[in-house]
Amino acid sequence: MTLYAVWTPIVPSKSLNRSSHSVAVVKAKAYIFGGELKPRTPLDSDIHVLDIQSFLLHPTIYLHAGCPAKGRIGTLHSLDLSSNKLSWEKLASAPEPGRGGTNLAVLPVAKPTLARFGGFAGHELAGLDLYDVATNTWSSSPHLPGANPPARSVAGFVGLARSKELSDSRAALALLFLGEQDPTPPEVGHDGAGRFHDDVWVLVQRHETDGGLALEWLGPLKRKEGSKGPTPRGWFGYAGYGPDGALMFGGLEDSNERAGDGWTLRIEEA
């Protein structure tokens, strides 16, 4: 069995060049908000809309970690969009260290579970942490069996809307892609760009037991001969797309330029 990462461009122009922005997908539209062309300088307050195919929206938003005015945190909050009274609920904080640029994905499994990968805490981080929604508890899996993704931050990490069955009886649960592998020197900070990954990894489930999820990584995935994909980058907006894919837009490239292209990502078995 060979899995391929299949990238499809959706915004070939540079009309929306930016990084450090947000992307949300609702039904047949992707909404792009904010971002910057120059470090620490907000670009505009417009919302740009792209027409795409349909997407299933989760009813709960999770807000995790980040960089406040001082330091880095590992808190987790949730917001139930189906509630008549919208208010944030504070949940259990994640394992240390606090970090910025980490990634949180909702896994399509029977027991509601969030997965966290990577982030930045003065250095790039790796390892997988799982949050059990029902028990409000975290567990850590620093290294899963087999190959594991290298450390990274400001990457893409998307739980599939529904698991994708593979021919070897495993099921694909989430996609991890791109992101920063080496930060900029401290004296440069956000005025420069680090070095970025261009790889794609799949988080798969071997089987589910009473003791929890049996997970492993597949990757880095190959691209089909002659196919193209996004340049190495981080700081891009991304969201789940369709039943088993992801969508990404923009970002910061190795050249310290803001990208303005968009791509969809899916996995294909051959």
- 23: phi then psi, degrees, rounded to nearest 5: -130, 130
From first to last of its 270 residues, what are the pLDDT tens digits of the chain?
789 999 998 865 566 788 888 888 887 678 888 888 778 788 788 888 876 543 344 678 899 999 999 999 999 999 988 788 889 999 999 999 999 999 999 999 988 999 999 999 999 999 999 999 999 999 999 899 999 999 999 999 999 988 999 988 899 999 999 999 999 887 777 777 889 999 999 999 986 655 567 999 999 999 988 899 999 999 999 999 988 999 999 999 999 999 999 999 999 998
CB-based contacts of 270: which residues, under 8 Å, 6+ apart? 2, 4
Q: Would you state the pLDDT for residue 67? A: 94
Kindly give, in sequence order, each residue whose CB lies less than 8 Å from that of residue 54, ignoring residues fewer than 6 positions away. Answer: 27, 28, 242
Strands 258-269 and 156-165, sheet pairing: unpaired
Count of C-beta atoms within a 10 Å radius of residue 59 = 9
pLDDT of residue 54: 36
What gap in Å lies between CA 8 and CA 67, rounded to an integer?
33
Look up the pTM and report it: 0.82
Check: CB of residue 257 under 8 Å from CB of residue 3. no
Cβ-proximal residues to 246 (8 Å cutoff; 6+ apart), any chain: 156, 158, 175, 177, 238, 239, 240, 264, 265, 266
pLDDT for res 12: 54
pLDDT of amino acid 95: 98
Scan for tokens 């969009």, then name that residue.
81
Q: ∠ at Cα 244 (270, 216), nearest 5°?
A: 70
* Phi, psi (degrees; rounded to nearest 5) at 98: -60, 155
User: Residue 209 contacts by C-beta under 8 Å, 6 or more apart in sequence?
Assistant: none
CA distances from 254 to 75, 194, 245 (A): 30, 6, 25
Residue 152 tokens read as 């990274």
| Beta bridge mates, 240 | 246
CATH of region 3-269: 2.120.10
So what's the pLDDT on residue 185?
A: 82
Residue ranges per structural domain of the chain: 3-269
Q: Strand, coil or helix: what is 191?
A: helix
Decide: 241 and 25 in contact? Cβ < 8 Å: yes
CB neighbour list of residue 184: distance below 8 Å, 6 or more residues apart: 190, 191, 192, 193, 194
Give the per-residue pLDDT at 48: 81
Q: Do the Cβ atoms of 123 and 177 come closer than 8 Å? A: no
